[in-house]
Amino acid sequence: MRVFINGFGRIGRTMLRAHAQGAWPTIEIVGINDIADLELCAHLFEYDSVFGPYAGQVDCVDGALVLDGLAIPMSQTSDISKVDLSGVDVLLECTGKADARDVAERGLRAGAARVLISGPSDAADLTVVLGANDALLKDQLIVSNASCTTNALAPLVRLIDDTWGLQTGWMTTIHCYTGSQPSIDAPRGDMMRSRAAALSMVPTTTSAQSLLNQVLPDIAGRIEAAAVRVPVASVSAVDLSVTLDQKVSLDDVHAVMRAQTGVIGWTDKPLVSTDLRARPESLIVSLPETRVTAGGLVRVFGWYDNEWGFSCRMLDVALRMARA
């Protein structure tokens, strides 16, 4: 299948790095569009402050980004509808600008068969999370891949509810800082989010709560959520505490988590956040952090690389869209 990346920021570049490792051999990246200079795009791809230098060869030749000898044409326009996307199966819309329907439809007008947005968007026909509601994915033209935290949380909530029945719960995402926060104190609308990202822990909201209600409407209202942005550059965590319909033991919870593969992973090692960098799963449950109280409260803690894991889901969902 043929895909095109519109927006070569954190997710666009991370998707290309993940794809270069060969896990999606049937996906061909046929083009990239970004308003930044080609040489700057190539440099930021080759030298990444989080993931380190690219292991292969990166060049710029005749308007193309060349990775290990493979040329990927690059264009520079703020309006993707001006690019010929004829023959593109899925446009990976990664600009963060596709909130309105007319913007999200630009890829379709340019010739792409379908559009997958790398974030929440009211313009989407469906918001999908692999492992939670992907059975709803059919012939929708514009799809949202939700958020990184929703991709981590929703499959876990779905698993817990399907296995034991979920009554209610609270989730805190301990989230690395992002480009939406300033590097020095500067107005950002919200007083706490206006503080320097790398110097403080910042309590804030998360879109995962509303998106969870959207993705899993049968569970809507049963999970409340908040976020704390912390001074690390990558890898975040989900800290979920729930009450269940059934009484469970710690061994019960561990057995169910150990049986998971693919979207949900697990570890029984005493890891810290940097150890989970570039893990492809949506969530990696930390078994040593699991707790079950005498009163039946269950705590599940899991790591997620909010860039790499989410980028892998973008490629997975794009593949599913082309097959639907």
Residues 58 and 188 in one domain: no
Residues 111 and 168 in one domain: no
CATH number for the domain including 69?
A: 3.40.50.720
- Asked whether residue 174 is domain-assigned, the answer is yes
CATH number for the domain including 249?
A: 3.30.360.10
- Asked whether residue 41 is domain-assigned, the answer is yes
- Asked whether residue 93 is domain-assigned, the answer is yes
266-301 as b/e, with b when 16 or more CB fall inside 10 Å? bbeeeeebeebbbbbbbbbbbbebbebeeeeebbbb
Residues 107 and 152 in one domain: no
- Tell me how long the chain is: 324
Distance CA 200, CA 229 (A): 8
Domain count, the chain: 2
Q: What is the pLDDT along the chain (324 residues), one digit of tens a residue?
A: 999 999 999 999 999 999 999 999 999 999 999 999 999 999 999 999 999 999 999 999 999 999 999 999 999 999 999 999 999 999 999 999 999 999 999 999 999 999 999 999 999 999 999 999 999 999 999 999 999 999 999 999 999 999 999 999 999 999 999 999 999 999 998 999 999 999 999 999 999 999 999 999 999 999 999 999 999 999 999 999 999 999 999 999 999 999 999 999 999 999 999 999 999 999 999 999 999 999 999 999 999 999 999 999 999 999 999 987
Residues 108 and 254 in one domain: no
Residues 49 and 110 in one domain: yes
**Would you say 76 and 34 are in contact if contact means Cβ atoms under 8 Å apart?**
yes
Q: Residue 97 belongs to what domain range?
A: 2-118
- Asked whether residue 268 is domain-assigned, the answer is yes
Residues 26 and 94 in one domain: yes
Whole-number Cα distances in Å, 76 to 44, 72, 110, 263: 16, 13, 15, 34
Active-site residue among 41, 94, 148, 312?
148
Residues 106 and 205 in one domain: no
- Asked whether residue 68 is domain-assigned, the answer is yes
Residues 226 and 89 in one domain: no
pTM flag (> 0.85):
yes
Residues 105 and 177 in one domain: no
Written as one string, the DSSP assignment of 56-82 is S-EEEETTEEEETTEEEEEE--S-GGG
Q: What are the backbone angles phi and psi of residue 142, rounded to the nearest 5°?
A: -125, 120
**Would you say 19 and 54 are in contact if contact means Cβ atoms under 8 Å apart?**
no
Give the DSSP H or E segment for 195. none
Whole-number Cα distances in Å, 176 to 62, 153, 190, 315: 37, 16, 18, 23
Q: What confidence score (pLDDT) does residue 189 get?
A: 85
Active-site residue, 148 included? yes
DSSP H helical segments within 126-165, as ranges? 148-164
- Asked whether residue 264 is domain-assigned, the answer is yes
Q: What confidence score (pLDDT) does residue 96 get?
A: 95
Q: What confidence score (pLDDT) does residue 324 get?
A: 75
Beta-bridge partners for 73? 64
128-159 as b/e, with b when 16 or more CB fall inside 10 Å? bbbbbbbeebeebbbbbbbbbbbbbbbbbbbb
Residues 96 and 210 in one domain: no
